[in-house]
Chain A
Amino acid sequence: MQHLDHDRLVFLALGESEADNGESTHLGTCALCRAEMATLAQVAGLGAETQGLADLPDPPEHVWQSIAAQVRAAEAEPSRAEAGPQQVPGQAVGTLTEQTSGTTAGQATGTTTAEATGTTAGQATGTTAGQVTGTTAGQVTGTTAERPVTRLDSARRSRRGSGWSRWAATAVTAAAAAAVGVLGTVSVLRPDDPAPAPTQVVVASAPLAAYGSTPPTAKGDARVLRDGQLHLHVANLPRVPGYYEVWLINPATMEMFSVGTLGGGSDALLPLPPNVDLASYSVVDVSAEQYDNNTRHSGDSLLRGTLTG
């Protein structure tokens, strides 16, 4: 059987001419030529859709900055873990405390806590609100060590399977050190120590977008830090008569719990329960709440987003 000339197939695929009788007959019986022509036609169709793709806009600059920061943090990780034996306990604790108190969020959250007294989240928030004591650091660290591995960047997992156990060991060491700190035998903070504050490693994150009638300029980011805290950054939230509350929702069961309240600042660090399963409670929701003696979600969601590793 004489196959169609390849030039002819290209012609036909580009729609430049119709198949004549003989060609139609051949295409009707020859699966090879038919498939080749179909493939070429698909390629031609895709080719026609590439107009403009050679001149695409750049992603915003902060995308690269985040990539660089995350890569640095991930790559700094093994060296920190391997430096275990040399790591002075006080440094580990100091580092965690720095991270905790280093943001203005701590203060802002603390303010809110006073208003929202009585909620579990409020109490927990108060604990992290920048108190520089060995106890605080110990709790935060212990939380991290016990936290089940729910979401971790898959690439990191595949590349360094042992990474988690190594850093977990470090965290346990730090927790033990913090306990020692409570007994007063170790200087907890050493400000003249040149140990740099490492970038917090993010184990899951969610961009938060305005929902429903919320002005579309409202937005935010939620990041689960490896030390078990939820870092929220919000912008342009509409003013509300009550206060903002942060929730984690399990989309499969619609169960939810409150993580805490937001203060007046744009950032907040909220501790997560040590055993929370973020794979299940994967939706971060910021709601507008009233001082109405009703602890349930108001149904008025302002922002939402889903955590992904």
Chain B
Amino acid sequence: MTALRQEPDPPVDDLDVRFRAGDDVALREAYDRYGRAVFHLATSMLANRSDAEDVTQATFVAAWLGRDTFDPAKGSLIGWLLGIGRRKVIDRMRASARETRVVETVRQLPEPAPAGPDPDRVVDRLVIADELARLPDDQRRMLELAFYDDLTHQQIATVTGVPLGTVKSHIRRGMASLKRRWEVDGAAPGPRPAGLSGTR
């Protein structure tokens, strides 16, 4: 039954592997696909736009030159890139804090440090957004109705005309995929119970 509804297989996505292997165009492809996410992470955390651009650039350069250390079996490319970006953002924030202290001393003029969002949270969001985009259309559509429009299962069934049982199963599967992905690629995943992971 499930097999019948499946879309034809999408083209094999081997960017992770090609990136690892140093394929010439893989860096550009990775940047086209994930540059926006890394840049979003940087701009969310750093008040100074040129800092954010610098961090984005440094992340991709470091990732490419250090691609030997990327293991596609242990997580996704975007998760790995965001991990590098997150460290570089934190380095930059610490540097700015130090520099603020210096200039305060030099000028005797305190400048309040802006309190930004939690970098782990931003990374987690981007990982979940990436997984959401990879879900089958039906699952993504129902989850978006639940997340963004705050609709109940019943309301989703009404809005979409899809039977309640099918809505439930899409949402359950979609949630399970998001959770698995978060546990693999998230910056700070929560508790990982041994017995109840995935769908039942």
Contact = CB atoms under 8 A, between A and B. Distances in A.
Nearest to A64: B31
Contacts of B68: 159
A182 to B, nearest CB: 37
A153 B62 contact: yes
Contact of B56 (A63, A71, A74, A282): A63
**Chain A residues touching B, range:** 35 or more
Interface string A251-285: 10010000000000000000000000000001101
Contact of A155 (B36, B62, B92, B103): B62
A44 to B, nearest CB: 7
B189 to A, nearest CB: 8
Interface in B35-52: 35-40, 48, 50-51
B50 A207 contact: yes
Interface in B157-200: 168, 171-172, 175, 178-179, 182-183, 189-197, 199-200
Given A6-B199, A209-B50, A40 B179 contact: yes
Chain B interface, DSSP helix/strand/loop, else mixed: helix
| Residue from the set A31, A39, A47, A56 with the largest chain B CB neighbour count within 10 Å | A47
Contact of B37 (A35, A56, A71, A205): A56
Interface stretch (A8-16, A123-131, A135-143): A8-16
Nearest to B63: A155
B40 to A, nearest CB: 5
Contacts of A16: 152-153
Given A7-B168, A48-B147, 20 more contacts: A6-B172, A44-B175, A46-B128, A48-B148, A54-B129, A58-B36, A58-B39, A63-B35, A64-B35, A67-B57, A67-B60, A156-B66, A205-B54, A207-B48, A207-B51, A207-B53, A219-B50, A249-B102, A251-B102, A306-B98
